[in-house]
Structure 1
Amino acid sequence: MRVDGQDVAVSGSLLQPLTRRTNDIFRLSLAGIFLVVVVTSSLITRYEWEALEKSISGIVGVLSPTQSNTVYLIYGIAILGLPFFILIGLILARQWKLLGAYGAAGVIAILALSITGNGIAAPRWHFDLTVRLDTVLSQFLDDPRWIAMLAAVLTVSGPWLPARWRRWWWALLLAFVPIHLVVSAVVPARSLLGLAVGWFVGALVVLVSGTPALEVPLDGAVRALMRRGFPPAELRVLRPAGEGPLVLDATASCNSKADSDTEPETALVELYGPHQRGVGFLRQFWGKLRLRDDETAPLQPSMRRAVEHRALMALAVGNLGMANTQPIAVATLDRGWTVYAHKPARGIPLADCADETPVARVWDSLGVLHSQQISHGDLRRGEITVVDGRPLFGGFSRAEFGASDAHLHTDIAQLLVTTADLYGPPKAVAAAITVFGNDSVLAASRRLTRAAVPKAVRDSVRDAGATMSKLRDEVKYQTGADQIKTETITRFTRNQVIQMVLLVALVYVAYPFISSAPVFFSELRSANWWWALVGLAVSALKYLGAAAALWACADGMVRFRSLTVMQVANTFAATTTPAGVGGLALSTRFLQKGGLGALRATTAVALQQSVQVITHITLLILFSAAAGASANLSRFVPSTTVLYLIAGVVLGAIGVSLFVPKLRHWLATAVRPRLKEVLDDLMLLAREPKRLALIILGCATTTLGAALALWASIEAFGGDASFITVTIVTMVGGTLASAAPTPGGVGAVEAALIGGLAAFGVPAAVAVPAVLLYRILTCWLPVFVGWPIMRWLTRKEMV
């Protein structure tokens, strides 16, 4: 390559790989929005839009029928030949890789508008051929599939074709709208739909297949280096452009004999294309959206500003003598490219000389940066080198001048992870405390989390999770702290996200109940409110019984009063999650916060659930026997076919688990130990009669309290049902609630309870409002009360 009279040797491939640029994602988003707007407008304002088009075409339509046919004939020929012109253009440009995407986009666009419920639809014309426009060729203007195919292939081939061709061809395609108006015709809605579908399909194919690489303005980069007194004689590609910049190794030319006797000067040249500019901005914006304001730097409006910031920070750190590199040139090039040239990093990587470099020197170097209120932001081992025994820093893409305390503490946390991996946690923590003191290290250790430590830093060490855990323990040991509270650096915490999901689920599961509310409220006029209050009072037995059972399973290591309050919050978590898994997780978390270990808390909850199931089945058998033959229980028993099907599924699952090695290994290593623990706990529990009796009594109270609440609800509406039959119905409904896939068993529980009461002779006029009242007392009221209680427990750090 020859630039301004100087020859520059270039080695390596400058051809960039196919990339999925930010523009491709933006194009697909716009196409999706346009498609939604076209579909929505065609459904909502179709007739008003056609009336508006007729009035406009009546004003601008000046052509006679003969002239209209001629215009349609000429334009139809152009539209018919347009895809072939595009294909010839691609072939002449030798874009062979694009032919597959070209064909796929056309076929997908046509099929998308051709597939119906009856198969592939044949072409349907908008106009009657016997009335006007009797040229079959002109009907291509009216076929949405042809319009969609043209829009799709134009979108796919656009990035590969000259801009001038692309503009003319898009103008030719879009001309069908004004031509329809000029010839006094309404633009068919299907044609606009075809245009929208074709654009969307083409944008999707472009995103999948990728767009061509932009030409690298290497001559501009060479001129920028020359202006800075670095005339390159040779450029060698080190890394092609992709997700990161195009990196080249530049060797300066020797201008004199004295220079020829010394080793030629080298530099690293980084070329950032438009793709990196868009991706960089999106990453900054995502950081702003996800993290708190004091955790992120100001947004860089362009790639040039981001590169300039990196170069300026390298100069600032270099003035302190702590930079292992030095900027040479920063410039904006043609076609949206930006060049950043700098000297190669000096020194030996820290990982290669950790044995000879004391860890204290690494922390002393960071102390020099922090003394000038400079944060680095990317303290990986690869960004630290050692020159004459002194650690120096490189990178600086995330560095900040005038850094906040949050940035400085993040630096300490990152260097703790890096030095702990090289020197061990005790030495790393001791050196950090020596330089920054107990308070700063303790505050920084709160950021030893996946959210606070960048992924690049975590990936640079062997086991980031274990390293951060050991560091937290070591910080507590050396500073004497009792515990380290995790620092919240994101705008939305994990608990807030979980609570938001639970609220959305609550609205979802409450919708069927809300839809039947008017009928229920009309029945409330005849209800006996004293029985409703009795039902509300006895429903509290559920929480007392569950708290007593869990208290006994935990060996009384948590306060019974707190457990009772937690059971109300547990109703919210269990109702808004399928199969009540949220309630189990909340109970386990509460026991852990109460002082039990993770294994012990899980075992206690599993033990309570096991006894609850055994007690539930035992009570169901006893009350069913007491009910006698007077009750019609056939509707609760599945048919023989269903029973055989269930048995076959169970036997098949057992066979699969025995013959599939991975499943067999999982059962042996994960399920069997937990099952053995529960069985061992049950055996130990059998040797403690008082404790066993308390757990069984608590589980039985949970079941019978729900039955009493349903019985009181039936009495409130003047029903007549024995407590034994109501208990059977309640237990069947509870079983369905735990097995139903909907949160809280909504729908399945109500149907089972109403059907069960009907089986025992309770009329529907009483059963329906009674069940709804029962669900209000035992499900919905505790759910709405449990939400603020769970937030209160969260603030008190009890869950």
Structure 2
Amino acid sequence: MTQTHRQEHEDEREDAAARPGQAATAVPVDEPPRPDRIRRPSDAIRFAASLAGLGAVMLLVSFAPQATHGLQTDISETTAHAPLFLLTLATIASSFGVLAVPVAFAVERLFHKDGTRVAIALLAAVIAFAVTILLDDLVITSAPGGVLDSLIWGGTDTAPVHTDIAPVIAFVSAVGMAGRTRWQAATWSMIGLAALTGLTAAYASVAALAATYFLGNAIGHGTLYAVGTPNPRPPGLAVVAALERLGLRTVRAQRFQPDDLPEVRRYGVSVAHAPGAVPTDTSGVALPRGDWQLEVRVLDRDQQTAGVLYRVWRLVRLREAAPRRPVRSLRRSLEQESLMAYAVDAAGARTPRLVGTCEVGTEAALMAYEYVPGAPLDAVPDDDLTDAVLTDVWGQFKRLQSARLAHRRLEGGAILISDRGHAYLTDLRSGEIAAGDLALRLDLAQLLTTLALRAGPERAVRTAVEVLGEQALAAAVPLLQRVALSRDTRAALRHDRELLTRIREQIVRLKPESEAPPIRLERFRPRTIFSIVALTVAAYIVVPQLSSVDPVRLVAGAEWWWMGVALAAAALTYLAAAFMLMGFVPEKLPLGQTVLAQVAASFVKLVAPAAVSGVALNTRYLQRSGVRPGPAVASVGASQLMGMVMHILLLIVFGFVTGSVNTATRDLAPSRTIVIVLLALAVLAGVALTIPRVRRFAAGRLKSMFSGVVPRLVDVLQSPKKIITGLGGSLLLTVAFVVCLDASIRAFGGSLPWTAVVVVFLTANAVGSAAPTPGGLGAVETALTVALTISGLTAETATSAVLLFRLLTLWLPVLPGWAAFTYLQRKEAI
């Protein structure tokens, strides 16, 4: 909090103390020490926005240099006709004023004992000055004619950022001139004049000035966030003084511990009443003296931007929800919550009565509610959460619905259960009056889920039907989806992923015709963004790969017959992968759709390691096919486990055979090197397992995997057909890849014993699965090329064969994989 604000609040308390019958300075306020500095979310947001603006300027000049040069020319031609006297006067005024005005403001702040903020602003100015010097004197001299030379100042002989303006902008951004209109006008007028004279004299460009502005702004807000701003939040004594201006004489006050509303400060307040006036709760029952009579909620201006990125994301993503402002001013937040408090009370719903509202200086506002002793729903013991309490909650909710009031945050912390067992609706800051049908149904879905998390689906639905009726409850079925719920509720559902399904089942049992497909609430889904990013990454990686290959020479030197064989073998791998998955799933899966899922995996693995992407997509496919999440994960894990076991066995067997038969490939056989590597890995694993945290993590992962995989394998072993399908698919997958690699080698005139080709493929595949790159990119190519060269192929033949093999197994399937991925999404099969 600034010294100026402290002085203002001290003056307020002195005025309050001087009034008859009031002694604000003697009121005890029990609260923890206030931090001297805080980090405001708004500073971080402005810092990020400034960096984005700087990037936008660079992209604009990079892709549209003619537009910026044209704007520069227009400004130069326009100012050329201005009187020389005025231009000279503007130059002199800006040269002096651009520094004089900030210095004068700093002196004025020092007189008001606000030196901390001035010191932070000076630090930002120094950092901005150092950065501009670094860019002007080091970057440009070391890279003349580079990106900055053409990007920032458009090829002129000026510097990319202006040393005389950037530190001033950083100082202004960090010192904080909000609410001081005259100082703001004077400062920015001088900065604007300095920019104008630079444009007129042709030593500055529009792009350079824009980049300077965003850079200075970013440094100012970044410094302010890193160091912390002086705490502007008023202390408890200022809150007490504000209450007294409302006619509420405070006896004592205490700051409540932080709860589920970290952006709101809450105080319990005891007030003095006129003789005979006894405070009561909204049910008319008198409160005992000595308890808190008021609960005061303080809204701090610097907290209004908390969670803004999440709110913007929800606003952009959700299709049907009524639009809401992601950012509200302090005044707007105060009015919104006050309006909802009065509307809920008028609707007859039980809520703490709003006694009064008041601004606390310029940085905060308070809302004084009658205090209701009790606990939030989340903290109520299970024994006290009776059906009568649940019914009362639904009764208050029904009054909201009847008055067309949407709460929008019906979580456990927003429902207060008083000591007398009455339900109160609190936390009305996100509410909406005259709400539409969808908003009301979303409230119903949220409250159903909230109560089901505490009392179970059966009790939540049963008590809701008693109050709302079956028809009203059926309207919530299509909206019982995770995206429609609050963030905290979605986090709680991770521990009970089947809860929404069980709620639907309870409602459908009461009203079978209420079963309906979920309503599409999203404008887009995260997987849509995933698809776009995957295509972009694929294009970024594919284009350089293909540009380094001479296709004419590659095609002219290859034998088409063997290329056809390699292509057929590559296509066969998807059928083999489908058989492998189907063999370890006791449930029946359609062959065609399962093959399409494996084709889609060829697209997904471009943005994730091959092992991870295949597991995720196949698990999702099994769930969409009717397999419950647990068995789906176990089935995929079983297929992966058996595939890994078979892979190791084949590598050992064929490595031994290859090393015994052909000395040229003896290096690929299990040898002293492989033994040393395995021993080293074992030692590293042993050392890691001595760390308790690593040991618990590994034990948990193995337990979760084998607890589901082993029973799944037992189910599969009871069906010989499934065993043959799974193991046969795994073997066929390896054979198909080996044939593809061998045909790729022969297509360029090379030849190796087939046992050597098997070892080469198995080794490279193991490396690719372990590599944390999309599709094993880079690791597989390197391993294959080195292994084939060691086996006796020339470097040119090995490189050409590897390029053809990866083209057929990694790059060519991208477009069919994307088509299969999109088709399965449309059919809701993944």
Please report the TM-score for the alignment, with normalisation by the length of structure 2. Answer: 0.72
Q: Do structure 1's residue 406 and structure 2's residue 435 form an aligned pair? A: no
- The DSSP-based 3-state class of the residue aligned with 1:293 is coil
Residue 741 (1) aligns with residue 772 (2): yes
Matched with 1:101 is 120
Paired residue type of 2:645 = V
Specify the SS of the correspondent of 2:572: helix
Cα distance change on mapping 1:207 and 1:681 into 2, 3 Å: closer
| Matched residue, 2:390 | 359
Aligned pairs for 1:437-456 (under 5 A) are 437-438=469-470, 440-441=472-473, 444=476, 451-455=483-487
Q: Whole-Å Cα distance in 2 between the matches of residues 416 and 361 of structure 1?
A: 14
Out of 514, 517, 520, the position equivalent to 2:546 is 514
CA distance in 2, matches of 1:676, 1:339: 54
Aligned partners of 2:135 and 2:161 also within 8 Å: no
After superposition, the Cα gap between the structure-2 partners of 1:403 and 1:521, relative to the gap in structure 1 and judged at 3 Å, is: farther
Q: How does 1:71-470 map onto structure 2 within 5 Å?
A: 88-98=107-117, 101-102=120-121, 104-113=123-132, 148-159=166-177, 164=182, 168=186, 186=203, 197-212=215-230, 231-234=247-250, 244=263, 260-263=275-278, 272=299, 274-275=301-302, 285-294=312-321, 304=331, 307-327=334-354, 344=371, 351=380, 354-355=385-386, 357-381=388-412, 382-385=414-417, 391-420=423-452, 423-438=455-470, 440-441=472-473, 444=476, 451-455=483-487, 465-466=494-495, 469-470=498-499
Deviations 1:674-699 (A, max 9, x none): 57997999999999999777655433
Tell me the residue number matched to 2:639.
605
- Equivalent pair of 1:448/1:468 in contact (CA under 8 Å): no
What secondary structure does 1:260 align onto?
Answer: coil
Q: Is the 8 A contact 1:8 1:232 kept in 2?
A: no
One of 728, 733, 738 as aligned partner of 1:707: 738
> How many Å apart are 1:432 and its aligned residue?
1.6
User: Quick one: distance in 2 between partners of 1:494 and 1:514?
Assistant: 30
2:569 corresponds to 1:538: yes
Per-residue Cα deviation, 1:643-666 (whole angstroms, up to 9, x for no partner): 799568535523422432222333
Distance 2:710 2:358 in 1: 72
- Cα distance in 2 between the residues matched to 1:368 and 1:50: 63
Structure exhibiting the larger radius of gyration computed from Cα positions: 1
The 3 A distance-change label for structure 1 pair 20 and 715 is same
Q: Secondary structure at the match of 1:577?
A: coil
Cα 1:561–1:457, aligned 2, differ >3 Å: closer, same or farther?
closer
Unaligned regions of 5+ residues in structure 2, if any?
Answer: 1-11, 142-158, 281-292
**Where do 5+ consecutive residues of structure 1 fail to align?**
123-140
Q: Is 4-13 or 750-759 further displaced after alignment?
A: 4-13
User: For 2:808 and 2:81, how far apart are their aligned partners in 1?
Assistant: 68
- What amino acid sits opposite 2:173 in the alignment? T
- Rounded to whole Å, the distance in 2 between the matches of 1:452 and 1:84 is 52
Matched, 1:621 2:640: no
**Structure 1 CA distance, aligned partners of 2:493 and 2:599?**
38
Q: Distance in 2 between matches of 1:142 and 1:691?
A: 68
Q: Which residue of 2 aligns with 1:129?
A: none
Distance 1:147 1:108 in 2: 13
1:197-244 C-alpha deviation (Å, 9 max, x unpaired): 4443222112334445669799999999999xx744459776699964
| Structure 2 CA distance for aligned equivalents of residues 723 and 204 of structure 1 | 62
- Residues 143/83 of structure 1: CA separation in 2 closer, same or farther (3 Å cut): farther
Residue 784 of structure 1 corresponds to which residue in structure 2? 815
Residues 617/439 of structure 1: CA separation in 2 closer, same or farther (3 Å cut): farther
How many angstroms apart in 1 are the aligned matches of 2:496 and 2:714? 39
C-alpha distance in structure 2 between counterparts of 1:238 and 1:222, whole Å: 11
* Deviating more after overlay: 788-797 vs 163-172: 163-172
Distance in 2 (CA, whole Å) between partners of 1:341 and 1:424 is: 35
CA contact (8 A) 2:315 2:323 kept: yes
2: CA distance between counterparts of 1:380 and 1:755? 59
**For 1:778 and 1:468, how far apart are their aligned partners in 2?**
36
Contact 2:655–2:670 (Cα < 8 Å) also in 1: no
Q: 1:649 to 1:428 in 2, by over 3 A?
A: same
Code of the aligned partner of 1:93: H
Measured in 2, the distance between the counterparts of 1:181 and 1:465 equals 58
CA distance in 2, matches of 1:647, 1:42: 54
Identical residues among aligned pairs (%): 25
**Residues 117, 699 of structure 1: alpha-carbon distance in 2 compared, 3 angstrom cutoff:** farther
Instruction: Give, in whole Å, the separation in 2 of the partners of 1:588 and 1:773.
Output: 31
Cα distance change on mapping 1:742 and 1:412 into 2, 3 Å: same
Residues 1:28 and 2:47 are matched in the alignment: yes
Is contact 2:240-2:250 (8 Å) kept?
no
2:694 aligns to what? 663
State whether residues 417 and 464 of structure 1, in contact with CA within 8 Å, keep that contact through their aligned partners in structure 2.
no
Q: Find the counterpart in structure 2 of residue 136 from structure 1.
A: none
Q: Tell me which moved more, 52-61 or 105-114.
A: 52-61
The correspondence for 1:578, drawn from 609, 624, 628, is 609
* C-alpha RMSD of the superposition: 5.7
Whole-Å separation in 1 of the counterparts to 2:72 and 2:751: 64
Who is 2:156 aligned against? none
**How far 1:376 sits from its partner (Å)?**
2.9
- In 2, Cα distance between equivalents of 1:664 and 1:218: 48
C-alpha separation in 2, matches of 1:695 and 1:7? 87
Partner amino acid, structure 2, of 1:524: V
Partners of 1:419 and 1:428 within 8 A in 2: yes
Please give the alpha-carbon distance, in whole angstroms, between the structure 2 residues aligned to 1:177 and 1:795.
54
Distance (Å, rounded) in 2 between the aligned partners of 1:282 and 1:544 = 44
Q: Is the 8 A contact 1:542 1:701 kept in 2?
A: yes
CA shift for structure 1 position 781: 3.0
What's the CA shift for 1:582? 0.4
